């Protein structure tokens, strides 16, 4: 490859950070929509028993992901320091860095982060059990739309973990997206009080538990490398716990009929279930990476785009395999409601994308000034505080929904600190992330 | 592991070209075009200070349009 073509490829591979965030969240939702459509076929045609389906899914998923992670850990990707020193400094990185730049092979994370990963896996397992018990008892259409209200739980979680609650614009966008998803998916539903209570308390509770635990896991940084735990490790250890919990559940409800289905349908289910779990895993890896970059409520509302994405995917599947993937849009009213829901979701997403600002502040402090760093780090909107050697003492990264809010909530307070002797602010016009 | 911020003053009309050149340097974690005293701020991560020096000499300073740079090594970080 010539130097010029290599340069072009590299330049094109750089994504702006904002674009990367939205690409990850939306890719996750599209993959999610594909595997949900596929799961519909599997549960209808191959594994009608939810417990058998869940057990085979987790076991196959874990086995396939183990093989994939081993392959991804192979050091086949060449990393270089720069084009000029390429020959001097050359190192090998695992293939998995294409999926997540923080991936450095299979390793057991330290307990301080592993506990959050395992907790997320525990919630995943419990959520699977509740989901399949509900599928057994109720029509999915009576409770699936209500699952979109998990965003309300995450909004509360954001208030508690982000030290900067959602702004009015974020709230408006989240409400639009949630209502859009609700209208789209509830267009054929009748509600049942019991399923409403179980969904709002247990199903959404465990779903929020997964997101909050994994958000906590993404916030951890390796004390030496300052890298977060990679999304593949978070997914892998969570799957391990979820598989154990689902297996225990299966052993509790095991009977002859289920054992027979497991025996007769296992071979037929390997390809579709395996494919579904690969898609689910990549979808979740993207979800975790987006979670690392943004607020839980916003990532969740963006990934709920899957409800909209599932509509064209269902049509494509029906067009290719009309018998295996039947479509029921709920008549003309259903189509209207789905369209209204889709418009609400898209409008909410666009308003979120257009209302995001970042400010950098270069600060000089007096001799005792560095003692105030904890105060600065705790301020609303402060995303990162870097203590520097050289001309400036501190670089502060501020995330805000508007410049005015950034000034009111953060800049004014920093400049009022007695030990701050100089403050220079710079608005970020555009940002790229490797 | 050494993290550093490099504050870059760019010659008028060269921002796009400098951004394009910087996007080819692998050790850059973040690249921000900003308003104010500087035009571009980048965050780089290298294994050692020697690599940071090499990066400056080989990849940043020679870029056409880079007027001046201020390099600040990160001593500690809070998030």
- Please give the tally of structural domains in chain A: 2
Range of the domain at A393: 357-428
Report pLDDT digits (tens) over B22-75: 988 888 988 999 998 899 999 999 988 999 999 999 999 999 999 999 999 999
A241 and A381 together in one domain:
no
**Mean pLDDT (whole number) for B3-28:** 91
| A4 domain-assigned | no
Enumerate the residues of chain B whose CB falls inside 8 A of the CB of residue A384. 77-79
User: Chain B residue closest to A162 (CA)?
Assistant: B79
Q: How confident is the model at residue A222 (pLDDT cuts 50, 70, 90)?
A: confident
Q: Is residue A224 part of a domain?
A: yes
Nearest to B73 among A11, A389, A424 (CB): A389
Tokens for A302, please give them. Answer: 């963006």
Nearest to B1 among A226, A389, A433 (CB): A226
- Contact across the interface for B3 and A387, Cβ inside 8 Å: no
Cα B50 to Cα A93, A291, A351, B22, B71, distances in angstroms: 21, 34, 45, 19, 14
Quick check: A386 and B77 CB within 8 A?
yes
Q: pLDDT band at residue A85, thresholds of 50, 70 and 90?
A: very low
Q: DSSP 3-state assignment of A402?
A: coil
Cross-chain residue pair B79–A433, CB shorter than 8 Å: no
Top-confidence range, A18-27, A116-125, A168-177: A116-125
Q: What is the pLDDT of residue A164?
A: 58
- Based on the fold, state whether residues A366 and A345 are members of the same structural domain: no
Least confident segment among A185-189, A218-222, A268-272, B44-48: A185-189
- Give the pLDDT score at A329: 67
Nearest CA in chain B to A8: B24
Q: A153 with A204: CB under 8 angstroms?
A: yes
A225-229, A264-268, A420-424: which has the minimum mean pLDDT?
Answer: A225-229
CA–CA separation, A309 and A413 (whole Å) = 43
What is the interface size between A and B, counted as CB pairs within 8 Å?
129
**Per-residue confidence at A115, pLDDT binned at 50, 70, 90?**
very high
From B19, B62, B79, residue closest to A384, measured CB to CB: B79
The CATH number for A410's domain is 3.30.70.920
In Å, how far from its chain's centre is CA A185? Answer: 21
Residue A433 within a domain: no
Which residues on A lie below 8 Å from B72 (Cβ)? 388-392, 395
CB contact under 8 A, B41 and A83: no
Domain closes at, from A335, A354, A373:
A354
Per-residue confidence band for A238, with pLDDT thresholds at 50, 70 and 90: very high
Does residue A88 surpass a pLDDT of 70? no
Query: CA B52 to CA A82: how far, in whole Å?
Result: 11
Asked if A384's CB is within 8 angstroms of B26's CB, the reply is: no
Bigger pLDDT: B56 or A225? B56
pLDDT at A198: 86
Buried b (16+ CB within 10 A) or exposed e, A238-259: bbbbbbebbeebbeebeeeeee
- My answer on whether A75 and A113 are in the same domain is yes
Residue A174 lies in a domain: yes
- Would you say A348 and A180 are in contact if contact means Cβ atoms under 8 Å apart? yes
Closest to A104 (Cα-Cα) out of A249, A266, A240, A225: A225
| Upper half-sphere CA count for residue A412 (Cβ side, 13 Å) | 7
Q: Are residues A209 and A244 in the same domain?
A: yes
Asked if residue A271 and residue A174 are part of one domain, the reply reads: yes
- List, in sequence order, every beta strand (DSSP E) within A4-153: 15-16, 77-80, 90-93
A contacts of B24 (beta carbons < 8 Å): 7, 10-11, 82-83
Q: Which residues of chain B have a CB within 8 Å of the CB of A425?
A: 36
Task: Considering only the beta carbons, identify the residue of B32, B54, B55 that sits closest to A428.
Answer: B32
The answer for residues whose C-beta is within 8 angstroms of residue A184's C-beta and 6 or more apart is A307, A308, A311, A337, A338, A341, A342, A345
Instruction: Tell if the CB–CB gap between B32 and A89 is shorter than 8 Å.
Output: no
Out of A374, A388, A433, name the one closest to residue B29 (CB): A433
Distance CA A20, CA A17 (A): 5
At residue A139, the 3 state secondary structure works out as coil
Task: Classify residue A253: in a domain, yes or no.
Answer: yes
Separation CA B33–CA A416 (nearest Å): 27
The answer on A392 and A296 residing in a single domain is: no
In this structure, the answer to whether residues A160 and A294 fall within a common structural domain is yes
Q: Which of A320, A354, A388 is the last residue of a domain?
A: A354
At A3 the pLDDT is 41
Q: Which residue has the tokens 């596929």?
A: A38
Looking at the structure, tell me whether residues A423 and A307 fall in a common domain. no
* Pairwise CB contact (< 8 Å): B5 & A434: no
In-domain check, residue A3: no
Regarding whether A252 and A219 lie in a shared domain, the answer is: yes
Residues 6+ apart with CB under 8 A from A313: A30, A33, A34, A37
Provide the pLDDT confidence category of residue A122 given band limits of 50, 70 and 90: very high
Q: Please give the structure tokens belonging to residue A142.
A: 């009576």
The whole-angstrom separation of Cα A282 and Cα A31 is 8
- Inter-residue contact A384 to B32 (CB < 8 Å): no
Nearest to A387 among B27, B41, B75 (CB): B75
- Domain borders along chain B are 2-73
User: Mind listing the pLDDT tens digit for each residue in A402-422?
Assistant: 787 788 878 888 988 888 999
Q: Are residues A350 and A401 in the same domain?
A: no
Instruction: Look at domain B2-73 and name its CATH class.
Output: alpha beta
Does A194 fall in a domain?
yes
Domain boundary among A354, A381, A404: A354
**Mean pLDDT value of segment A352-369:** 82
Q: For residue A101, what is the nearest residue in chain B, using CA coordinates?
A: B29
**Contact check, Cβ <8 Å, A85/B37:** no
Q: CB–CB of A426 and B59 under 8 A?
A: no
Q: Show the 3-state SS of A199-211.
A: HHHHHHHHHHHHH
Tokens of A265: 């349908």
Q: Which residue of A has its CA nearest to B29?
A: A434
A45 vs A210, higher pLDDT: A210
**Residue A303 to residues A31, A337, A369: CA-CA distances in angstroms?**
10, 20, 42
pLDDT, tens digit, 9 for 90 and up, residues A126-177: 998 888 777 767 766 667 777 777 877 777 777 666 555 667 777 788 888 8
Q: Are residues A317 and A382 in the same domain?
A: no
pLDDT band at A10 (very low <50, low <70, confident <90, very high): very low
| Residue A434 reports pLDDT greater than 70 | no
Asked whether residue A7 is assigned to any structural domain, the reply reads no
By Cβ distance, the residue of A10, A362, A385 closest to B78 is A385
Q: Which of A127, A87, A407, A397 is nearest to A242 (CA)?
A: A127
B73 to A390: CB separation less than 8 angstroms, yes or no: yes
Report phi then psi at A189, rounded to 5: -95, 155
Top-confidence residue, A160 or A45? A45
d(C-alpha B6, C-alpha A424), whole Å? 15
For residue A18, what are the contacts with CB-CB under 8 A and spacing of at least 6?
A: A353, A356, A431
């Amino acid at each position: 490859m010539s130097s010029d073509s290599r340069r072009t490829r590299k330049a094109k591979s750089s994504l702006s950070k904002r674009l990367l965030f939205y690409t990850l969240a939306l890719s996750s939702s599209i993959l999610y929509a594909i595997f949900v459509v596929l799961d519909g076929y599997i549960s209808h045609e191959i594994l009608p028993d939810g417990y058998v389906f869940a057990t085979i899914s987790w076991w196959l998923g874990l086995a396939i992901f183990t093989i994939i992670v081993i392959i991804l850990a192979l050091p086949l990707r060449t990393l270089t320091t720069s084009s000029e020193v390429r020959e001097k400094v050359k190192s090998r990185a695992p293939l998995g860095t294409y999926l997540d730049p923080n991936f450095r092979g299979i390793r057991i994370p330290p307990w301080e982060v592993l506990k959050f990963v395992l907790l997320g896996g525990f919630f995943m397992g419990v959520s699977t059990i509740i989901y399949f018990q509900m599928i057994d008892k109720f029509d999915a259409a009576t409770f699936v739309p209500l699952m979109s209200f998990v965003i309300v739980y995450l909004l509360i979680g954001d208030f508690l973990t982000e030290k900067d609650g959602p702004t009015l614009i974020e709230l408006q966008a989240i409400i639009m997206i949630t209502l859009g998803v609700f209208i789209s998916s509830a267009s054929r539903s009748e509600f049942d009080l019991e399923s409403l209570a179980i969904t709002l308390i247990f199903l959404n509770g465990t779903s929020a538990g997964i997101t909050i635990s994994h958000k906590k896991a993404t916030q951890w940084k390796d004390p030496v490398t300052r890298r977060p735990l990679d999304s593949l490790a978070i997914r892998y250890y969570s799957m391990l716990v979820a598989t154990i919990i689902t297996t225990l559940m299966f052993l509790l409800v095991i009977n002859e009929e289920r054992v027979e289905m497991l025996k007769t349908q296992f071979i037929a289910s390997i390809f579709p279930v395996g494919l579904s779990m690969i898609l689910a895993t990549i979808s979740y890896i993207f979800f975790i990476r987006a979670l690392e970059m943004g607020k839980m409520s916003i990532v969740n509302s963006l990934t709920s785009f899957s409800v909209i994405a599932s509509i064209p995917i269902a049509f494509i599947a029906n067009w290719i395999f009309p018998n295996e993937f039947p479509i029921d849009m709920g008549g003309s009213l259903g189509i209207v409601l789905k369209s209204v829901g889709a418009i609400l979701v898209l409008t909410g997403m666009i308003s979120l994308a257009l209302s995001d600002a970042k400010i950098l502040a270069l600060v000089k402090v007096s001799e005792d000034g560095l003692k105030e760093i904890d105060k600065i780090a705790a301020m609303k909107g402060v995303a990162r505080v870097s203590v520097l050697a050289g001309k400036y003492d501190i670089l502060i990264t501020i995330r805000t929904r508007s410049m005015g809010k950034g000034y009111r909530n953060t800049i004014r307070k920093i400049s009022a600190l007695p030990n701050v002797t100089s403050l220079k602010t710079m608005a970020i016009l555009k940002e790229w992330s490797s | 592991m050494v993290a550093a911020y490099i504050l870059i003053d760019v010659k008028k009309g060269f921002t796009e070209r400098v951004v394009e050149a910087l996007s080819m340097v692998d050790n850059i974690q973040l690249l921000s075009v900003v308003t104010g005293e500087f035009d571009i701020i980048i965050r780089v991560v290298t294994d050692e200070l020697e690599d940071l020096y090499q990066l400056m000499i080989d990849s940043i300073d020679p870029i056409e349009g880079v007027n001046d740079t201020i390099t600040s090594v990160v001593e500690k970080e809070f998030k």
